[in-house]
Amino acid sequence: MERPRQGDQFTLDQRSERQCKEETRFTKTELRRIQTLLRIPDMMQTYGGDHFTGIEGLCILLYRPTGPLVYRRMQNTFHRDRGTTTRIFSCMLEWLDDHWSGILDWDQDRLTPNRLQAFVHAIDARSLQGHGGDMTSLDVFGFINGASRQVCRLAYEQRAVYSSYDNAHVQRYHVLITPDGIIVHVSRPQAGTCSDATIFADSTLHTWLERSAWASDGHPLKVLGDTAYACILLAYL
Q: What is the pLDDT of residue 10?
A: 86
Q: What is the pLDDT of residue 60?
A: 94
Amino acid at 30: E
Q: What's the average model confidence in pLDDT over 226-230?
A: 74
Tell me how many degrees the CA angle 234-235-237 measures, rounded to the nearest 5.
65
Q: What is the pLDDT of residue 160?
A: 79
Most confident of 39-43, 151-155, 202-206: 39-43
- 3 falls in which pLDDT band (50, 70, 90)? very low
pLDDT digits (tens, 9 = 90+) for 119-152: 999 998 887 776 665 667 788 899 998 888 888 7
CA dist., res. 200 & res. 229, Å (int):
9
Domain boundaries, the chain: 12-100, 113-236
DSSP codes joined into one string, 21-77: HHHHSS-HHHHHHHHHHHT--SEEE-TT--EEEHHHHHHHHHHGGGSTT-HHHHHHH
CA dist., res. 95 & res. 40, Å (int):
9
pTM higher than 0.95: no
Q: What's the average model confidence in pLDDT over 39-59?
A: 94
Q: What is the pLDDT of residue 17?
A: 92
Q: What is the pLDDT of residue 1?
A: 36
Residue 92 pLDDT > 90: yes
Most confident of 50-54, 160-164, 226-230: 50-54
Contacts of the segment 13-22: beta carbons below 8 A, 24+ positions apart: 15/77
